[in-house]
Amino acid sequence: MTEPVAPLATIAGLRHRFPGARHAAPQTALDGIDTTILPGMITGVVGPDGAGKTTLLRLLAGLLRPTAGQIAVFGLDLADHAATVHDRIGYMPQRFGLYEDLTVAGNIQLHADLHAMPSAIRVPRISMLLAATGLAPFTDRLAGKLSGGMKQKLGLVCALLARPKLLLLDEPSVGVDPASRRELWAIVAHMLAEGLADGMGVVWATAYLDEAERCGRVLLLHEGRLLADDTPEAIMAPMRDRVFLLDVPPGQRRAAVRLAASVAGVADASVQGDHLRIVLRPGAALPDPSALGGSHLSPAAPRLEDGFIDRLGTVAPTPIPAPATRPVAQGPAIEVAHLVRRFGDFLAVDDVSFSVARGEIFGLLGPNGAGKSTIFRMLCGLLRPSAGRAQVAGGDLIREPAAARARLGYMAQRFSLYGELTARENLRFFARVYGLSRAAQQAAVAAALADFDLADSADQVAGDLPLGVKQRLALAASLLHAPDILFLDEPTSGVDPLARRAFWARIGTLAEAGVTVLVTSHFMDEAEYCDRLAIVSSGRLIATGTPADLRGRVRSDAMPNPTLEDAFIALVGADLRARAA
Amino acid sequence: MIAAALRLRGLLVKEVTQVRRDPSSLLIAFLLPLVLLLINGFSITLDARAVRLAVVIDAPTAPTQDLFQAMAASPYLAPILVATTADGARLIASGSARGMLVVRQDFAETLLRPQRWPAHLGLQVSGTDPNTARLVEGYVAGALQTWLSSHALENRLLATPAATLEHRYWFNAELRSSNSIIPGMIAFVMSMTGTLLTALVVAREWERGTMESMLASPARMAELIAAKLVVYFGLGMISMLEAVLVGTLVFAVPFRDGILPLLAAAALFLLFALALGLFISTLVRNQFLASQLAFLVTMLPAMMLSGMLFDIASMPPWLQWLTYLFPARYLVSILQTLFLAGSVNAVLLPNLAALAISATVAVAATLAVTRRRLD
């Protein structure tokens, strides 16, 4: 790598704005982007939802015309030569762009025809890609009947068919399970190695920072601006010697987070498993562990997320007021015994039992389609169990769902806010729905606006709020009636790391005050914040325990220091093998 | 060239497979025309049959009895004998009778001495529907005329009239309104199914995200459009033939002449309707909105402004001009001619030319709005 290689794409002074929908102002999706895409590596386009990742990929694919600036692909300006370069670009849109009513083979043949591939090239290429992705046994299956992970692979096969020089993948790993995510990465890396001689390069958009760490180069996007354009190592370099793990006694982690955040020199503190992860400000001296409420500080490897947060220019996290502790009744908050739910012949939930103590944060972890949402809906009283018992807050959901529901707060995945109402109007509406008296409504709305830092956005229409603010608003709405139990459905998917930290800090203080929190997620990052986890696979609970427990179960010589994701993949894999046997 | 052929093949295979696996396009192509034709063909009729008529006879005699029988013998009338005019008025008010025939006490007497005083009958007709009212009046007069002449002959009261008017209706000798409505209905059904078939398909590709991958592929927009037109054109032609068969077999509308002009007109109109659907679909990118728009722009003009129900020549001039904008009128004109008159080139050629222009404009407009980009 001594000679400079010709870039696959050059982006100069790029700006893109979308005309505002309805009466909204035009939205600037990207601004001031200057970068190059190099061959021979995976370039990660990294950032939270709404950062401009998809817009950048669509611009590179020639599907959008930039408002200002130039994009050249293979040395040709896209403004004039979009049609010429299409033949050598492989593009996989976010929803894979598959024809669901065509078979796997049908989709592949269509793309082969569109690229006018002669059969002498087509036949061996298709069989090679089918073998590499493991799709060969499924060629006759309708694309609509494939699992998420298989659709993703089929989308990849279609994009790779014509040996593209530039492969653009728009969040290929959203919503698929961790095992499929890793497999996809391996396939793309393999294809890149194979295409190296052709000078192939890959652009991979993702919100997963662990994926980004494996990229050759990372374009870190935040609110349409390029925050960093470098190798992951270089982005993490300033964080070296600034990240530590603090041992804290069990049960005191959350109090320790609040304590640590108030210590000068600490830029960021978060719960990680049974430790506290401390990030220091540049040049800050190592604090005394006992001042942080712990016993021992050990250095830890920085993560890309630390670099991201550092570059976002962290201000000290706003201290979150500790809520008044409420009288904690005895007995478990949620108790589920032998819960079963069938849909026709399909067993969506198969004999699930668990219990959650009051003030505990409990996570249901599993890939899409594992049955998490079905369990959730039964616990919320939205779906009747086929068999089994579910008690929430001491009430039986099956016999008195309304009474049990009044003690629940629920925050849906897409936040279920009314986009046309302002933040204040949304809160008022939910206060009325929960049946609060007029005086209580006003007090609850005022308190929510103050506690959740929403005063500045109170009169903005909810649809125009940034994702992180929407998330705070949705949480505030679900807590208006001071519920004993809070249900969170994939609460932080897609929000930026700062907003995610702040969110979990709030959830931590709620739990400290005695609120029981039940979370579903397929994000391992979210799982780290939980006290206990249950892993759900194909409708069954296959493991329950603290994050440390679950990691410990899969620890081996080959994997001395497993992450939660490693544990998840190993446990789900073992369960599937046991069932197949 | 070979590359273009390969791309087109791929797109055609895809469209055909999708149609085969998607029941909704088959339903629109084959079931919707059948249902529309049957429902509208039976319900929209401008003829009145067995109109209920109240009859008041003040003094029943042999001649009045005879007159009543004559009325009852008419296929168009269903006379009901009532006692008083008040009863008859009640029947009309309640809608149970369309009109009332009053036969006065002196009818039989005056009938015998027409020289002194003409025999007199009173007819009152409900004017709520002027069209039916005129029909009732005509039916009663006709039945009366028939009765009078036979009565006169029997009683040798009058010589055979010196002259009678013998009239014939051309093209539709029985004046069955279905003979003129069904060809119009076929045009109506074609414009709806044609547009609806394609209005959904492009919008569906946008909604399912497949359009994005097509746009990023080397496929040309013209090829994408052509593949859809070809496949749905085939479907549309079959549904056209289905409609013609229903018209001739179920509604017994005669088909005079001209299979070739029929196919030509159907093909051109279908091309127009399909392209219009694609145009709408491309513009709005949303299946629900596209289907609403398709109904709006095809149903209203095809019903009101095509000459199918309302004679264009009797519309105000500005509205007549407006009808030229809606190609349904050209098809209705061609179909009515072919079904009832046969190949009359003076009618067919200008209308076919107008259809050809409409189809060209619609295809060109579709290509103009389809761009290779997402914005």
Q: At what angle do helices A104-114 and A148-160 cross, to 10 degrees?
A: 20
pLDDT band at residue B156 under the 50/70/90 scheme: low
Can you read off the two tokens belonging to residue A183? Answer: 């497999």
B215: which chain A residues are within 8 Å (Cβ-Cβ)? 63
Task: Give A183→chain B minimum CA distance, Å.
Answer: 23
Q: Look at residue A338 and tell me whether its pLDDT is greater than 90.
A: yes
Closest approach of A85 to chain B, Cα-based (Å): 9
A61 touches chain B (CB under 8 A): yes
| Stronger pLDDT, B159 or A511, i.e. the higher one | A511
Cβ neighbours of residue A26 closer than 8 Å, sequence gap 6 or more? A17, A18, A19, A20
Residues in contact with A268: Cβ distance below 8 Å, sequence separation at least 6, in sequence order: A277, A278, A279, A306, A309, A314, A317, A501
B216 contacts A63? CB cut-off 8 A: yes
- pLDDT of res. A354: 93
CATH 3.40.50.300 for domain A9-234, yes or no, is: yes
Do the beta carbons of residue A98 and residue A158 sit within 8 Å? yes
Exposure letters A134-149 (e unless 16+ CB within 10 A, then b): ebeebbeebbeebebb
The predicted-structure confidence for A371-414, as pLDDT tens digits, reads as follows: 888 888 888 878 888 998 888 877 777 677 777 777 888 888 77
pLDDT at B151 over 50: yes
- Chain centroid, CA A27 distance in Å: 24
Confirm or reject contact between B316 and chain A (CB < 8 A): no
pLDDT band at A321 (very low <50, low <70, confident <90, very high): low
Query: What would the DSSP string read from start to end of A184-242?
Result: HHHHHHHHHHHTGGGT-EEEEEES-HHHHHTSSEEEEEETTEEEEEE-HHHHHGGGTT-
| Side-by-side strand order, sheet with B51-57 | B77-82, B51-57, B99-103, B121-125
ipTM of the complex: 0.74
How far apart (Å, rounded) are the C-alpha atoms in residues B50 and B44? Answer: 16
**Which is higher by pLDDT, A263 or B244?**
B244
- A vs B, Cβ pairs < 8 A, gives 96
**What's the order of all strands across the beta sheet hosting A243-247?**
A266-272, A275-280, A243-247, A296-299
Q: Is A174 on the interface with B (CB under 8 A)?
A: no
Out of B2, B18, B209, closest to residue A101 by CB? B18
CATH number at A236-311 = 3.30.70
CA B140/CA B132 separation, integer angstroms: 12
**Please, which pLDDT band fits residue B115 given cuts at 50, 70 and 90?**
low
Contacts of B193 (CB under 8 A, 6+ apart): B28, B29, B32, B33, B236, B239, B273
Interface contact flag, B10 A65, Cβ < 8 Å: no
Residues 92-121 in A contacting B (C-alpha not used; CB under 8 Å): 92-102, 106, 109-117
H helices of chain B, in order, are 2-21, 23-26, 32-43, 62-73, 85-93, 107-112, 130-155, 177-208, 210-215, 221-249, 259-284, 287-304, 317-323, 328-340, 345-369
B324 has pLDDT over 80:
yes
Phi and psi dihedrals of A174, rounded to 5?
Answer: -70, 130
Whether A362 has a pLDDT exceeding 90, the answer reads: yes
pLDDT tier at B118, thresholds 50, 70, 90: low
Is any Cβ of chain B less than 8 angstroms from the Cβ of A82?
A: yes
The residues in B 194-213 lying below 8 A from A, measured between CB atoms, are 208-210, 212-213
Kindly indicate the confidence band of residue B160, based on its pLDDT and cuts at 50, 70 and 90: very low
Q: How far is CA B125 from the centre of its chain?
A: 27
pLDDT score, position A25:
63
d(CA B243, CA B34) in angstroms, rounded, equals: 7
Q: Tell me which chain B residue has its CA closest to the CA of residue A87.
A: B218
Taking an 8 Å cut-off on Cβ atoms, the answer to whether B210 and A97 are in contact is: yes
- Across the interface, whether the CB atoms of B208 and A102 are under 8 A apart is answered no
**Do A113 and B214 make contact, defined as CB atoms within 8 angstroms?**
no
pLDDT tens sequence across B17-27: 999 888 888 88
Write the pLDDT tens digit of every residue in A189-233: 999 998 888 899 999 998 888 889 999 999 999 888 999 999 999
Whether residue B13 lies within 8 A of chain A, CB to CB, comes out as yes
**Chain B nearest CA to A103, separation (Å):** 10
Q: Rounded distance, CA B218 to CA A115, Å?
A: 6
pLDDT tens readout for residues A519-555: 988 777 778 888 899 999 888 999 999 888 898 898 8
> What predicted TM-score, i.e. pTM, was given to this entire model?
0.79
How confident is the model over A145-162, as a mean pLDDT? Answer: 90
Boundaries of every domain in chain B = 2-44+176-369, 51-155
Q: Which residue has the higher pLDDT, B348 or A522?
A: B348
Q: Would you state the pLDDT for residue A314?
A: 53
Task: Supply φ then ψ for residue B121, to 5 degrees.
Answer: -125, 145
Digit-coded pLDDT (tens) for B28-46: 888 988 998 888 888 776 6
**How much is the pLDDT for A49?**
78
What is the SS3 assignment for B55? strand
Average pLDDT, chain A: 85
A59/A74 Cα distance (integer angstroms): 14
Task: Please give the share of chain B, as a percent, with pLDDT higher than 70.
Answer: 89
Which residues between 15 and 44 in chain B have a beta carbon less than 8 angstroms from any beta carbon of chain A? 17-18, 21-22
Is there a contact between A63 and B22 if contact means CB atoms under 8 Å apart? no
Of the partner residues B210, B218, B374, the one whose CB lies closest to the CB of residue A86: B218
B273 near B235, Cβ under 8 Å?
Answer: no
End-to-end, the C-alpha distance of chain A in Å comes to 49
The rounded percent of chain A whose pLDDT value lies above 90 is 33
B2, B205, B210, B285: best to mutate for the A interface, most A CBs within 10 A:
B210
Give the residue, A23 or A514, on which the prediction is more confident.
A514
CB-CB contact of A371 with A348 (8 Å): yes
- Nearest CA to B193 out of B235, B245, B221 is that of B235
Question: Domain B51-155 is in which class?
Answer: alpha beta
- Residue A426 in this model has a pLDDT that exceeds 70: yes
Which residue in B100, B165, B104, B103 sits closest to B133, CA to CA?
Answer: B100
Which residues from chain B sit within 8 angstroms of residue A95, using beta carbons?
208-209
Q: Does A151 reach chain B within 8 Å, measured CB to CB?
A: no
Domain positions in chain A are 9-234, 236-311
Say how far apart CA A403 and CA B356 lie, in whole Å.
Answer: 69
Separation of alpha carbons B101 and B122, rounded Å = 6
Q: Which residues of chain B make contact with A126, given a CB cutoff of 8 A?
A: none
Residue of chain A whose Cα is closest to the Cα of B3: A116
Is the CA virtual torsion B327, B332, B335, B341 positive or negative?
negative
According to DSSP, residue A461 is labeled B
State the Cα–Cα distance between residues B40 and B182, nearest whole angstrom: 9
Longest dimension (CA), chain B: 96
Residue B11 has pLDDT above 70, yes or no: yes
- Which residues from B are below 8 Å from A100, CB to CB? 208
Of A203, A226, A224, give the one whose Cα is nearest residue A8: A203
Q: Identify the pLDDT of residue B162.
A: 46
Note whether A282 and A242 are within 8 A (CB).
yes
Share of chain B above pLDDT 90, in %: 18
pLDDT at A33 over 90: yes
Q: At what angle do helices B259-284 and B221-249 cross, to 10 degrees?
A: 130
More confident residue, B303 or A168: A168
Residue where the block lists tokens 């930290």: A501
Arithmetic mean of pLDDT over chain B = 83
CB contact under 8 A, A116 and B218: yes
Rounded to 5 degrees, what angle do the CA atoms B10, B11, B12 make? 95
- Tell me the average pLDDT across B312-338: 88
Asked if residues A135 and B22 have their Cβ atoms less than 8 Å apart, the reply is no
